[in-house]
Structure 1
Amino acid sequence: MKGTKRFLIKSETGSNLSEADSDYTIVVDDYRTKTETEGGRLIKYKKRVLSDLFGQSPPPTVTALVELALGTYAADRLVKRGPTGAKDDGEEMLKSRQIQILYPVVDVEKWQPLESELNHAVSFISRDNFQYRFIDAIDENQSIDEGAGGHCGQLPETDSVALFSGGLDSLGGRFYLADEGRNPHFVSVDHGRNVGHLVRNFDHLFDGNLISIGVDEEFSAYENTQFTRSFMYFAFAAAVAVALDVDDIFVPENGVLSRFSSLGSGWTTTRTVHPLFVKSLNRIFDELFPDRKVQISNPFIDYTKGEVVNCIPNKEDIFFTRTCPHPRELSQKKDAAGHPYNCGECIPCLIRIIGLVNSEHNIQPDGLLLDKNYFLDFDFSTVSAETIAQSDQSRQSSLSVFLLGLNAHLSFAYRVQTSTQKELVSSNPELLDSDIYGLYEGFSKEMFRTVEFFAAENPTLEDYVTEFLSLEDEELDCLN
C-alpha cells in the first residue's frame, strides 16, 4: 500500500454518507449486529457493556470518541508499513505511513477544533502522519444532548478507573493503587491475542470490580505493530469514567518504556503511554468533556520495571502475567501449571527480564517462562556489535531485535553510570529533571546486575558486553 491511504469511519451515525472522498471504509458496529459492509472493513465491540454502565445509550461524545479510536486502530492494522531498507541505521527500522481519517459526527463544532491535536497525538504514538477531518453526520434521529449519564447500581463504589491488561505493570498497578487508598474500577480491552484468558487468571483479585470490553476485527490485518492501540484503551477508559462519574484514569506502565529515553524513535515497540501523548490526550478530554476533569495519569512514570514487580506481593501471581504483546505461536503455550510464556526476543520482554531478575522475588532463570532465553542460552561469541544481522528488523521480535535492543540499553546504561548528570543533559535534556535522572540511574544498575546474573552461567555474555562497551578488565564489576 503506497502513498496516502484515506479511510472513512462509518457507524450507525452517518450511514448515508458518500464514500467518494475515501479509498476504504471502516465500519464500526456492535457485537450483536449482523452488518453487511459491502467491501468495508468491519470492527465490532461490545457496546452493551457501555450501555449497561450508563443505564442507557452512551452520550454521543462518548460513542464518537470510542468509535473514532476503534476506527483509527483498524486503519493502523490495515496499512502495512514495512522496513525502511536502511541497512546501516539501527534506529530507523520502520517506514512512516500517510493515513487520513474522515469521520462524521453529530456535533461537528465540538470536534473540528480538535483535529490538529489529534493529528499530533496519534502521529506521535504511531510514528506516522495521521490526519483527521470531522464532518457533519447525516443522522436525523440522533440528538447531541449529552444528558447526565448514570451508572449501574450493582457496581462497587469506586473513585477512579484503571486499565488492566494481565501484564506485570497493570498487576503491579492493582496493588499499588490499593496501597495508596484508591478504589478504581478496572477496565480490560479484549482485542484478541489471548487477552481475555490472561485477565481471567486474576478474577480472584478484583471481586467483580473489573469489566472486559471485547473488540473483534472482522478483516485481514496487514500490520502487526498496533502502535495506536492505547488510543483505543484510553477511549474506553474515558467512557467508563464518564459513566461512573469519576475523573481519574490510571494507566500503569514502568517509566523506562513510558518515557522511551533509552531507545531511538524508530524502534519496533510501543511508546503508547509516553507523557507527551498522555498530555495531548488529556487536552482533548478537556475539550470533549468541559464539565468534567477526566485525566489520565501513570502512577509508575518514575518506576523501573523491578520496582513495579516489587509492588506485587504474591510471587505466584507474577507467573500468570504476560508482557509480550505479540506472542504469535505462544498464544496457547503454557507450562504444566498453566503459566503463559513470553517470547523473550522483543523489547518489552527484555525489560520484563531485567525487572524480574532485579525484583525482591528471587526469580531464577527457569522461572522466567521464556520461549527463548538468549541471555542464558545464546553463544554471544558468534556475533559482535558490527555483525548483528539487521535483515528482519521489521519484525517486533527476533534475535536481531533482541541484540540491537540489548546494545541500545547497554550503551544508555553505561553513559548514565559513567557520566555526570550535566554531561548527560547535553544529549538527553529531560535528564535535567531529578526524578527522570533517578529513574534511569536505577535502571542502569538493574541493567548491569542482569548481565552479572546471567554471565555467571553464560560467560560469553560477559565477554560480549566487555567488548561492546570497550571495558577494561574487571571494569564491568563496578557498574552494578
Structure 2
Amino acid sequence: MRRFHFIGRLGDGDNTSVPVIQRDAEICDIQFVDTFGSLNFGIGDALAMLHSLGLKPSESAVDFVIFAAMVTAADTTVSRARNAQNGWTRELDVTIPVADVALWTAQSGLLARTLRFLTGDHWRLLFRARPAGFEKLVATPEELDLTTFDTVSLFSGGLDSLIGAIDMLSAGSNPLLVSHYWDSETSKAQKALLHSIGEKFPTKEIRSMRVRLGFDKNHAQTGEKEDSQRGRSLLFFGLATLAASALNRQIELSVPENGLIGLNVPLDPLRLGALSTRTTHPFYMARINDLLGNLSIPVTLVNPYRHKTKGEMVAECRDLSFLRTVVEYSMSCSSPAKARHKRLSPRHCGTCVPCLIRRASLNAGLGSPDPTLYTLPDLSDHVLNTRRAEGEHVRSFQLMISKLKSDPKAASTLARIPGPLNDAPGEIDAYVDVFRRGIDEVGALLEPVKARPE
C-alpha cells in the first residue's frame, strides 16, 4: 500500500514546499499551467470559449474546476486494489491552489463528507494561495456579451441529456450545453448529436462548451490507474458551473438524468461498491448546491427528470419524432470499446446496467423498434450465462424484480440504501415510486429472457 499527496501547481515558478499530512506519502504534483501560460487539461480551452462569447466566469468557479480536476486526478490514478486497506476505501490527500484560502478552508469538512459519499474514500483537503502572477485566472473579455443563453444544461451524449436538450429547445429555451469527454466514443456521440440538433433547430444559437479533461500516466507520477471513476460527475458539475457563473445571474443548471439511475439502488449486495455510483444522487447534488451557495456562486443544480423513469422521458419527449431519428447516435454504454474483443466496431454492449435500462426505456417509450446497435442484439435468443458479462447484470435485475414482486413495500427501504433522501422530504414518496416503476420497466424487457450460471 502506497500513500499519495496530490499538489496542484500553477506555473514553473510554483515550486514552494507544501506541508504534507502523512510523512511517508509520495508527492504527486499536477501542473495546471502549460508552457504558453494557459491552463492545462482543457480548462484553458473552456475559458477561451467563454471569453470569445464575451462571458466572464467567476474566480471561485475556476477554483471549483481546478478542485474537481484535482479530485479526478487522485481518483483515477490511485489503484484501489493496491492502495485500499479493505480492497475499496483509499486515503487521499489533496492540496489545491485557490484565490480565497479562508473561504475554501471553511468548506473542507463539507467537501470531505461529500467526496466520502461520492467515491467511498477518505479525503483530506488542504488549500493554499495561488502563487504570484496567478491571482487572477479569468481575463476580461474585449467583446460584449451578446449571447441569449437563458440556462445551462449538461450534455454528455447519452440518451437522457439528448432528451433534456430536445425538451429545452422545443420549449423555446436557449441553453448553453456543456460537454465533457475523455474517450473517443463519447466524443463522437456528442459531435453527431450536436450536429443533428443544430440542423433541427436552425434558428437557435446551438452552442456547446466541449472539454476533454482527464489524466493518464503522463500527467501523474503514480504509475497506476483506477477505472471505477466514482468521482467523474464532480468534473462535469465543475465545468458546467464555470459556464453558468459567466451568465452573471442566478442560474438553474440542468442535470438531465432519469430517476432510476439517479438513485442507482444496488441491485444486489455486491453492488454497494464499484457498481453503485452516486453521480447524480439527490443527497450528493444537495451537498454540491450547499457548496455553491457557500462560495456565493449563483448556480443551483436541478434534475428536472428526477421523478421520471427513462422510458417516461422517452415517451414524453417534446419531439418524439425527432428523437427517433437521432437516438441511435446517443451513447449510454459503460464500455462500448469492449466490442472489439468480438472483432466488432465500438457499440453498445447491450447487457451492462446502463444498456439494459436504455433498452427497456426504448422498448417502453419509443413507439418503434430500437435502432441501437448492440453487441448482443437479442437478449432472448439463448440462455445467458450469469457467470459472464452477458448475463451478470441481467440476473441482478431479475433478482431485484423478483424481490419487489414478492414484497412491494420493500421499495421504500431499498430506495434509501444508496443515501439519504431527507433534503426534500416531500419528494421521498416520488423517489420510491420512480424506483419501483423503473424496475418494472426493465422487468417488461426481461420477461422473455432466461439467465443462469453455466
TM value normalised by structure 2: 0.80
In the alignment, structure 1 residue 230 sits paired with structure 2 residue 221: no
How far did 1:150 drift? 6.2
How far did 1:6 drift? 2.1
In the alignment, structure 1 residue 211 sits paired with structure 2 residue 220: no
How far did 1:354 drift? 1.5
Contact 2:259/2:308 (8 A) holds in 1: yes
Q: Which residue is 2:313 aligned to?
A: 308
How far did 1:76 drift? 0.8
Map 1:49-68 onto structure 2 (within 5 A). Answer: 49-54=46-51, 55=54, 59-68=58-67
The letter of the residue matching 2:412 is: V
Q: Deviations over 1:40-83 (max 9, x none)?
A: xx962251331341458854322221111111111111111139
How far did 1:132 drift? 1.1
What is the aligned counterpart of 1:419 among 408, 414, 437? Answer: 408
How far did 1:204 drift? 3.0
- Secondary structure at the aligned position of 2:8 is classed as strand
Say which is worse superposed, 215-224 or 265-274, in terms of deviation: 215-224
What is the aligned counterpart of 2:126 among 109, 124, 133? Answer: 133
Q: Which residue is 1:323 aligned to?
A: 332
User: What is the distance in 2 between the residues matched to 1:348 and 1:299?
Assistant: 19
Contact 1:347/1:402 (8 A) holds in 2: yes
In the alignment, structure 1 residue 259 sits paired with structure 2 residue 259: no
User: What is the distance in 2 between the residues matched to 1:279 and 1:120?
Assistant: 12
- Secondary structure at the aligned position of 2:80 is classed as coil
Q: Which residue is 1:295 aligned to?
A: 300
User: What is the distance in 1 between the residues matched to 2:14 and 2:341?
Assistant: 39
- Where does the alignment leave 5 or more consecutive residues of structure 1 unmatched? 36-41, 86-91, 393-397, 468-480
How far did 1:296 drift? 0.6
User: What is the distance in 1 between the residues matched to 2:55 and 2:342?
Assistant: 40
- Secondary structure at the aligned position of 1:200 is classed as helix
User: What is the distance in 2 between the residues matched to 1:375 and 1:400?
Assistant: 9
Q: Deviations over 1:358-382 (max 9, x none)?
A: 1233225xx34211357224414xx
Map 1:107-122 onto structure 2 (within 5 A). Answer: 107-122=100-115
How far did 1:427 drift? 5.4
User: What is the distance in 1 between the residues matched to 2:28 and 2:307?
Assistant: 41
In the superposition, relative to structure 1, how do residues 270 and 297 fare at CA in structure 2: closer, same or farther (>3 Å)? same
What is the aligned counterpart of 2:159 among 160, 163, 168? Answer: 168
Count of matched residue pairs: 418
- Where does the alignment leave 5 or more consecutive residues of structure 2 unmatched? 199-204, 219-223
In the alignment, structure 1 residue 184 sits paired with structure 2 residue 184: no
The letter of the residue matching 2:298 is: K
Contact 1:43/1:218 (8 A) holds in 2: no
How far did 1:15 drift? 1.5
Q: Deviations over 1:448-480 (max 9, x none)?
A: 21123xx1xx5x45xx6xx9xxxxxxxxxxxxx
Q: Which residue is 1:272 aligned to?
A: 279
How far did 1:4 drift? 3.9
Q: Which residue is 2:71 aligned to?
A: 72
- Secondary structure at the aligned position of 2:41 is classed as strand
Contact 1:14/1:105 (8 A) holds in 2: no
In the alignment, structure 1 residue 360 sits paired with structure 2 residue 340: no
The letter of the residue matching 2:32 is: D
The letter of the residue matching 1:351 is: I
How far did 1:101 drift? 0.9
TM value normalised by structure 1: 0.76
In the superposition, relative to structure 1, how do residues 52 and 321 fare at CA in structure 2: closer, same or farther (>3 Å)? closer
Q: Which residue is 1:471 aligned to?
A: none
Contact 1:43/1:70 (8 A) holds in 2: no
What is the aligned counterpart of 2:134 among 134, 142, 154? Answer: 142
User: RMSD across aligned C-alpha pairs, in angstroms?
Assistant: 3.6
Map 1:324-339 onto structure 2 (within 5 A). Answer: 324-330=333-339
User: What is the distance in 2 between the residues matched to 1:447 and 1:428?
Assistant: 16
Q: Which residue is 1:39 aligned to?
A: none
In the superposition, relative to structure 1, how do residues 144 and 192 fare at CA in structure 2: closer, same or farther (>3 Å)? same
- Secondary structure at the aligned position of 1:371 is classed as coil
Q: Deviations over 1:207-239 (max 9, x none)?
A: 532221222534265111211111001001010
In the alignment, structure 1 residue 100 sits paired with structure 2 residue 103: no
In the superposition, relative to structure 1, how do residues 305 and 58 fare at CA in structure 2: closer, same or farther (>3 Å)? closer
- Secondary structure at the aligned position of 1:433 is classed as helix
Q: Deviations over 1:140-188 (max 9, x none)?
A: 23336989x6696576411111010111010011122234443211011
Q: Which residue is 1:450 aligned to?
A: 445
The letter of the residue matching 1:64 is: D
